[in-house]
């Protein structure tokens, strides 16, 4: 009897605590929802739903990984850049990308993860990076096409993120977008020089645009009816526009730019639709998109191998830096 | 194609910066930590900026960079050495940035044609030396493995350090004094890094000053082939 009574009391206590916890969580959640509704920024010390936190970690990490994997296709041309001016521009750009990676890992770390942990997840394939970087840079013109189209698509995606509900991410995006727009203009200018150059250069530029156009449209992600995270991200104001809206915006921006570049976009169905006030465009090859995402794109293997190799070959350097720092700290403590 | 060039001094200093910048550019996306991707690219960019000013003093920067053949380059053999592992790259940086800092400080203080460039570049080069020095300390006085790698790198590159003090025509500095300061500075850093100053010869197989006379090491030709290929494939094109 005594035992049963004790059980009952314990259960009642536990229920009481659980109720209280539930009430507290609901109160926190209400505060969070109100802040999001009022377009206030959520900051690292604020309470946030676990799913909001994990969605942000996933998105910011993927964004950071994209910056560092994205160094590879462009760095591929640093040693072959055709003029010293272009070489300087390209080096500065690749350096900026490493810097963007750093901002973004820092933003992710405010959510209670660490850069090392995220890099591990990248290296063992548990976190992804943008599918675009699994395409090869085959000619110099690809560097210009990446600047114009890939950075252009990135900016279209990222400008709304400057108003994202999570403060550290939004602030990182403000800095990233400034530098990205600069790169995008440089890419456009580089393509323009090629387009107006010799016939061989013009052909090189057109070929690059032909190869990068569709992969750039895929950067906005799957169509709205197949996008797993969209609805919740929009409700949380992490995302402000749907994939298809942003993709349409990008197409509308690119069409006149292609005209002034003197280059064509490789889509026979691309035309102005007076009624919609937008350009209609052809169907995206979603099979290709999902294949690339699954790891079967032209460069997935190569990109990951180089990344893992850089990390593994650098291990002794990181260990040395840590050992030296320890010695310095011990030395100072002793002194 | 023969490219005629003016000042041999501008070429020598410009080629040093151009070639080392290229080597550092090969690290992009391959550094041990992201911070080093930023730092190495930063140094490469500074050097490329210096190269462009110096080569423009001697002629057209792109013609000089892309249309000269190996025998016409005047850079030190040190800067054309392949990157090797991170210790190798850092040893090369330590040797060269110490030299460049001492040289540019002296040029900046004078009133020769290189004074304005040197005055700006010496600030960048001070940063490069600081970076190399800190990594020399971390690697030399880090783990047993990093110590051994750094020791090997310092030894391997030592033979290329003598040519730095071969007088360059048109560069008005006290070369023997420069060499003395360089040895003192590098030895002090190595000592703090628990490393010995290498004892081997400092002139390699060629006589000192080989690079300055257009006599290079084998890896350099391949480096130029990669660097110049695209430019040479489109004669007369602008980019």
Query: Which residue of A lies nearest to B23 if distances are taken between CA atoms?
Result: A79
Quickly list DSSP for chain B.
Answer: -----S-HHHHHHHHHHHHHHHHHHTTTT--SSHHHHHHHHHHHHHHHHHHHHHHHHHS-HHHHHHH--GGG----HHHHS---SHHHHHHHHHHHHHHHHHHHHHHHHS-STTHHHHHHHHHHHHHHHHHHHHHHHHHHTS-HHHHHHHHHHHHHHHTTSGGGGSPPTT--S-HHHHHHHHHHHHHHHHHHTT-PPP-S-SS-SSPTTTGGGT---HHHHHHHHHHHHHHHHSTT---
Min Cα separation A86/chain B (Å): 8
The whole-number pLDDT of residue A13 equals 53
Q: Does some domain include residue A282? A: yes
For helices A151-158 and A167-195, the axis angle rounded to 10 degrees is 150
Considering the domain boundaries, does residue A2 fall inside one? Answer: no
Q: What is the pLDDT of residue A19?
A: 80
Q: Is A321 an interface residue toward B (CB < 8 Å)?
A: yes
Instruction: Decide if B29 and A306 are in contact by the 8 Å CB cutoff.
Output: yes
Looking at the structure of chain A, the number of domains it has is: 1
pLDDT of residue B206: 67
Instruction: With respect to residue A192, please indicate whether it lies within any of the assigned structural domains.
Output: yes
Query: Residues A227-250: what's their mean pLDDT?
Result: 92
Q: In chain B, pLDDT over 70 holds for what percent of residues?
A: 95
Q: With 0.95 as the threshold, say if the pTM is over it.
A: no
Instruction: Decide if A140 touches B, using CB distance below 8 A.
Output: yes
A84 and B229 within 8 Å at the Cβ level: the answer is no
The alpha carbon of residue A115 is apart from the nearest alpha carbon of chain B, in Å, by 10
Surface-to-core class of residue B11, CB atoms within 10 Å of its CB (0-12 exposed, 13-18 middle, 19+ buried): buried
pLDDT at A148 > cutoff 50:
yes
Cβ distance B172 to B110 under 8 Å?
yes
Structural domain range at position A327? 24-334
Query: Which has more pLDDT, B66 or A8?
Result: B66
The confidence score (pLDDT) of residue A276 equals 97
Checking if the pLDDT of B164 tops 50, the result is yes
The single residue listed with the structure tokens 């350096």 is A95
Instruction: Please report whether residue A183 resides in a domain.
Output: yes
Tens of pLDDT, residue by residue over A261-309, are: 999 999 999 999 999 999 999 999 999 999 999 999 999 999 999 999 9
Closest CA to A74 of A16, A147, A155, A17: A147
Out of B32, B61, B137, whose CB is closest to A314?
A: B32
pLDDT value of position A238? 94
pLDDT value of position B208? 66
Which of A84, A88, A107, A307 should be substituted to probe chain B, the one whose Cβ sees the most B Cβ atoms within 10 Å? A84
pLDDT at B62: 98
The predicted pLDDT at position B2 comes to: 46
Note whether A234 contacts B: Cβ–Cβ < 8 A: no
Inform me whether the pLDDT recorded for A7 exceeds 80. no
CA distance B210 to B159: 12
- Residue A9 scores a pLDDT above 50: no
Whether the pLDDT of residue A12 is over 80: the answer is no
Average pLDDT over residues B156-176: 93
CB contact under 8 A, B48 and A101: no
pLDDT of residue A1: 40
- Return phi, psi of residue B73, to 5°: -80, 145
Put simply, the chain A residues between 242 and 271 with a CB less than 8 A from any chain B CB are none
pLDDT, one tens digit per residue, over A32-49 is 999 999 999 999 999 999
How much is the pLDDT for A228? 79
Residue whose token pair is 């000089």: B64
pLDDT (tens digit, 9 = 90+) per residue, A175-210? 999 999 999 999 999 999 999 999 999 999 999 999
Q: Contact B239/A324, CB-based, under 8 Å?
A: no
Residue A321 maps to a domain: yes
What is the fold of B8-233?
Answer: Ferritin (1.20.1260)
Whether chain B has a CB inside 8 Å of the CB on A94: the answer is yes
Among A47-56, A326-335, B218-227, the least confident range: A326-335
Q: Which residue has the higher pLDDT, A331 or B22?
A: B22
pLDDT tens digits, residue range B44-89?
999 999 999 999 999 999 999 999 999 999 999 999 999 999 999 9
Residue B41 has pLDDT above 50, yes or no: yes
* Residue A12 covered by a domain: no
CATH code for the domain of A157: 1.20.1260.10
- Choose from A313, A324, A328 for mutation: most chain B CBs within 10 A: A324
pLDDT at B1: 41
Task: Tell whether the model's pLDDT for residue A335 goes beyond 80.
Answer: no
Candidates B19, B27, B36, B41: best to mutate against A (most CBs of A within 10 A) is B41
A214 domain-assigned: yes
* pLDDT given at position A2: 44
Residue A18 lies in a domain: no
Measured CA to CA, the distance from residue A18 to residue A101 in angstroms comes to 41
């Amino acid at each position: 009897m005594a035992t049963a009574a004790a059980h009952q009391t314990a259960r009642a206590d536990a229920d009481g605590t659980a109720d209280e916890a539930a009430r507290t969580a609901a109160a926190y959640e209400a505060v969070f929802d109100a802040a999001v509704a009022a377009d206030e920024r959520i900051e690292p010390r604020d309470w946030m739903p676990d799913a909001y936190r994990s969605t942000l970690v996933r998105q910011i990490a993927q964004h950071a990984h994209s910056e560092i994997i994205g160094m590879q296709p462009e760095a591929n041309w640093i040693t072959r850049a055709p003029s010293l001016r272009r070489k300087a521009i390209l080096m500065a750009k690749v350096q900026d990308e490493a810097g963007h990676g750093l901002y973004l890992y820092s933003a992710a770390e405010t959510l209670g993860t660490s850069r090392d942990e995220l890099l591990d997840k990248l290296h063992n394939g548990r976190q992804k990076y943008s599918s675009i970087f699994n395409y090869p840079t085959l000619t110099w013109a690809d560097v210009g096409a990446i600047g114009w189209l890939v950075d252009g698509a990135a900016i279209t995606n990222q400008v709304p993120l400057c108003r994202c509900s999570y403060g550290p991410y939004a602030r990182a995006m403000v800095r990233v977008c400034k530098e990205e727009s600069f790169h995008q203009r440089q890419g456009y200018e580089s393509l323009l020089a090629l387009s107006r150059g010799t016939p061989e250069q013009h052909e090189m530029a057109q070929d690059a645009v032909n190869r990068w156009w569709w992969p750039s449209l895929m950067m906005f992600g799957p169509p709205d009816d197949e996008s797993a995270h969209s609805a919740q991200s929009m409700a949380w104001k992490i995302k402000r526009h749907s994939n298809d809206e942003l993709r349409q915006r990008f197409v509308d921006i690119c069409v006149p730019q292609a005209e002034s570049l003197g280059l064509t976009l490789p889509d026979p169905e691309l035309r102005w639709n007076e009624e919609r006030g937008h350009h209609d465009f052809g169907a995206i090859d979603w099979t290709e998109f999902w294949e690339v995402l699954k790891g079967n794109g032209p460069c997935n293997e190569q990109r990951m191998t180089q990344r893992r190799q850089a990390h593994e070959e650098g291990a002794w350097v990181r260990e040395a830096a840590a050992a030296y720092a320890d010695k310095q700290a011990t030395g100072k403590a002793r002194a | 194609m023969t490219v005629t060039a003016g000042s041999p001094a501008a070429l020598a200093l410009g080629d040093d910066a151009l070639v080392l910048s290229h080597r550092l550019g090969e690290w992009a996306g391959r550094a041990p930590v992201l911070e080093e991707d930023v730092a190495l690219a930063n140094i490469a960019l500074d050097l490329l900026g210096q190269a462009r000013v110096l080569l423009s003093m001697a002629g057209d920067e792109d013609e000089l960079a892309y249309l000269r053949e190996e025998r016409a380059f005047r850079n030190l053999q040190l800067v054309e050495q392949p990157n090797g592992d991170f210790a190798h790259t850092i040893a090369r940086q330590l040797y060269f940035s110490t030299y460049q800092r001492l040289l540019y400080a002296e040029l900046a203080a004078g009133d020769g044609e290189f004074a304005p460039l040197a005055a700006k570049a010496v600030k960048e080069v001070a940063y490069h030396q600081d970076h190399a020095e800190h990594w020399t300390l971390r690697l030399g006085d880090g783990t047993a493995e990093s110590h051994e790698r750094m020791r090997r790198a310092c030894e391997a590159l030592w033979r290329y350090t003598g040519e730095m003090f071969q007088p360059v025509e048109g560069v008005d500095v006290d070369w023997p004094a420069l060499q003395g300061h360089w040895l003192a500075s590098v030895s002090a850093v190595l000592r703090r890094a628990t490393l010995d100053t290498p004892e081997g010869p400092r002139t390699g197989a060629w006589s000192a000053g080989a690079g300055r006379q257009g006599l290079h090491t084998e890896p350099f030709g391949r480096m130029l082939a990669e660097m110049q290929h695209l430019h040479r494939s489109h004669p007369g094109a602008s980019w």
